[in-house]
């Protein structure tokens, strides 16, 4: 910005120097800094900035024309992206449910249970899940609430809900971050990609056809994708969200715009992924919810979806293999 002012000043001096001899009477105010000249010299992202006498240094920015670019991005593009991500995923899942139906346990339920997630794992998961849902809904409300909820609820109720939503968003974010770290520590060893995942992907995870069950460890390739999407997306949301909570530390308004855009796009994508995760963990697959519900899954479900993990567990506890006659 300094050099822009310097350039304007230089042009000014040159202008004065050239015109002074030609005019009999020089009017020093005539060749002043003008909006036209400053706008022509303005590069993208540049501001018209000057000196201010009040303590707020940010007030020195006189005109920031590029703020309108972010306004259009936020008002139109992100609005559209969020709607497409959420509605698109729901439509896709509805279509999948219509074609494929609920994925059943082919061998039927055995009635024997295996502990899949202990109480600490479930606590971490549900803390992350419940905070994420509130954060996602209150965040989504910020982007599309005025088109979806406002006409239904009216201005007063919508204003109250949004105000509470903002408070919830700002405070629950901290529990989300703690749970995110817990989940990372608990499950990262099970989520390192390996050769088993390639086979799982080649067979489409057995999602597309009945009776196909590629082998998998504790987590299959699809779950690993969810894990890393949550960890990386959650980290990006935490980082940008933290900076948006403390704008004074985050830098200039241009930085806030950048962080807000990253925050909104990441949230839209992650929300779409999580909707798919919720689907397959509830109505999409028989027996899947137990893993996070009671923590114990049916043995036949486990054999079909996590064959290598069952062998591992049974092998170590020594019940099924060691006593075949049982």
Partner 1 sequence: MARMKFLCDADRCIECNACVTACKNEHEVPWGINRRRVVTLNDGLPGERSVSMACMHCTDAPCASVCPVNCFYTTADGVVLHNKDTCIGCGYCSYACPFGAPQYPQTANFGTRGKMDKCTYCAGGPEADHSQAEYVKYGRNRLAEGKLPLCAEMCSTKSLLAGDGDIIAEIYRERVVTRGYGSGAWGWRTAYGETVTV
Q: Is 115 in the site for partner 1 (CB under 8 A)?
A: no
Cα dihedral: 264, 266, 267, 273 (round 10):
150
Considering only residues 257 to 276 of the shown chain, the ones binding partner 1 according to CB under 8 A are 257, 260
Q: Is 16 in the site for partner 1 (CB under 8 A)?
A: yes
Shortest Cβ 167–partner 1 spacing (Å): 9
**Of the candidates 8, 41, 201, 265, which one interacts with partner 1 according to CB under 8 A?**
8
Shortest Cβ 144–partner 1 spacing (Å): 9
Q: Which phi and psi angles does 215 have, rounded to 5°?
A: -65, 150
**Of the candidates 14, 20, 115, 163, which one interacts with partner 1 according to CB under 8 A?**
163
146 close to 76: Cβ distance less than 8 angstroms: no
CA 236/CA 269 separation, integer angstroms: 12
Q: How many residues bind partner 1 (CB under 8 A)?
A: 66
Question: Angle, to 10 degrees, between the axis of helix 253-281 and the axis of helix 221-245?
Answer: 150
Per residue in 137-159, is it b (16+ CB within 10 Å) or e — as a string? ebbbbbbbbeeebbeeeeeeebe
DSSP for residue 191: G
Q: Is 141 in the site for partner 1 (CB under 8 A)?
A: yes
Counting every residue written for the chain, the total comes to 326
Considering only residues 51 to 70 of the shown chain, the ones binding partner 1 according to CB under 8 A are 51-54, 56, 58-68, 70
Shortest Cβ 58–partner 1 spacing (Å): 7
Cα dihedral: 31, 35, 40, 46 (round 10):
130
Our CB check for partner 1 shows the closer of 157 and 198 to be 157
Our CB check for partner 1 shows the closer of 39 and 126 to be 39
* Contact range with partner 1 by CB under 8 A, out of 8-16, 17-25, 106-114, 122-130: 8-16
* Contact range with partner 1 by CB under 8 A, out of 1-9, 121-129, 286-294, 295-303: 1-9
15 close to 32: Cβ distance less than 8 angstroms: no
Half-sphere exposure of 71 (CA within 13 A, CB side): 5
Q: Work out the number of other CB atoms within 10 angstroms of the CB of residue 51.
A: 5
Q: Is 156 in the site for partner 1 (CB under 8 A)?
A: yes
**Of the candidates 2, 22, 25, 32, which one interacts with partner 1 according to CB under 8 A?**
32
**Of the candidates 88, 247, 251, 315, which one interacts with partner 1 according to CB under 8 A?**
247
Our CB check for partner 1 shows the closer of 145 and 206 to be 145
Distance of CA 14 to the CA centre of its chain: 52
Q: Which helix (H) or strand (E) holds 162?
A: helix 155-187
Q: Is 253 in the site for partner 1 (CB under 8 A)?
A: yes
User: What are the residue ranges of helices labelled H in 188-220?
Assistant: 195-202
Shortest Cβ 148–partner 1 spacing (Å): 12
Coil vs helix vs strand at 297: strand
Our CB check for partner 1 shows the closer of 52 and 192 to be 52
Considering only residues 279 to 318 of the shown chain, the ones binding partner 1 according to CB under 8 A are none
Coil vs helix vs strand at 106: coil
Shortest Cβ 71–partner 1 spacing (Å): 3
Q: Contact positions toward partner 1, by CB under 8 A? A: 5, 8-9, 12-13, 16, 27-36, 38-39, 48-54, 56, 58-68, 70-72, 74-76, 141-143, 145-146, 150, 155-156, 158-159, 162-163, 165-166, 170, 245-248, 253, 256-257, 260
């Amino acid at each position: 910005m300094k050099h822009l002012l310097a350039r304007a000043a230089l042009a000014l001096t040159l202008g004065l120097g050239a015109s002074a001899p030609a005019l009999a009477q020089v009017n020093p105010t005539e060749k002043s800094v003008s909006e036209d000249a400053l706008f022509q010299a303005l590069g993208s992202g540049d501001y018209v900035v000057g000196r201010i006498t009040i303590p707020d240094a940010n007030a020195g920015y006189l005109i920031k024309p590029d703020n309108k670019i972010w306004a259009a991005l936020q008002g139109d593009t992100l609005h559209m992206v969020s709607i497409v991500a959420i509605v698109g995923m729901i439509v896709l899942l509805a279509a999948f449910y219509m074609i494929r139906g609920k994925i059943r346990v082919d061998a039927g339920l055995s009635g024997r249970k295996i502990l899949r997630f202990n109480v600490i794992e479930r606590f971490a998961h549900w803390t992350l899940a419940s905070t994420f849902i509130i954060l996602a809904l209150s965040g989504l409300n910020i982007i599309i609430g005025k088109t979806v909820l406002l006409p239904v609820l009216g201005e007063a109720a919508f204003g109250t809900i949004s105000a509470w939503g903002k408070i919830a968003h700002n405070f629950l974010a901290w529990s989300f971050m703690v749970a995110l770290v817990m989940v990372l520590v608990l499950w990262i060893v099970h989520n390192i990609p390996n050769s088993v995942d390639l086979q799982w992907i080649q067979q489409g995870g057995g999602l597309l056809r009945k009776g196909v069950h590629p082998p998998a460890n504790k987590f299959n390739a699809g779950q690993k994708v969810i894990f890393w999407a949550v960890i990386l997306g959650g980290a990006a949301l935490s980082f940008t969200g933290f900076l948006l909570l403390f704008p004074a530390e985050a830098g200039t308004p241009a930085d806030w715009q950048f962080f807000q855009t990253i925050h909104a796009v990441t949230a839209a994508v992650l929300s779409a992924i999580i909707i798919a995760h919720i689907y397959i963990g509830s109505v999409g697959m028989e027996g899947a919810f137990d893993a996070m519900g009671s923590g114990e899954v049916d043995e036949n479900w486990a054999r079909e979806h996590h064959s290598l993990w069952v062998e591992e567990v049974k092998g170590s506890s020594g019940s099924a293999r060691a006593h075949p006659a049982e």
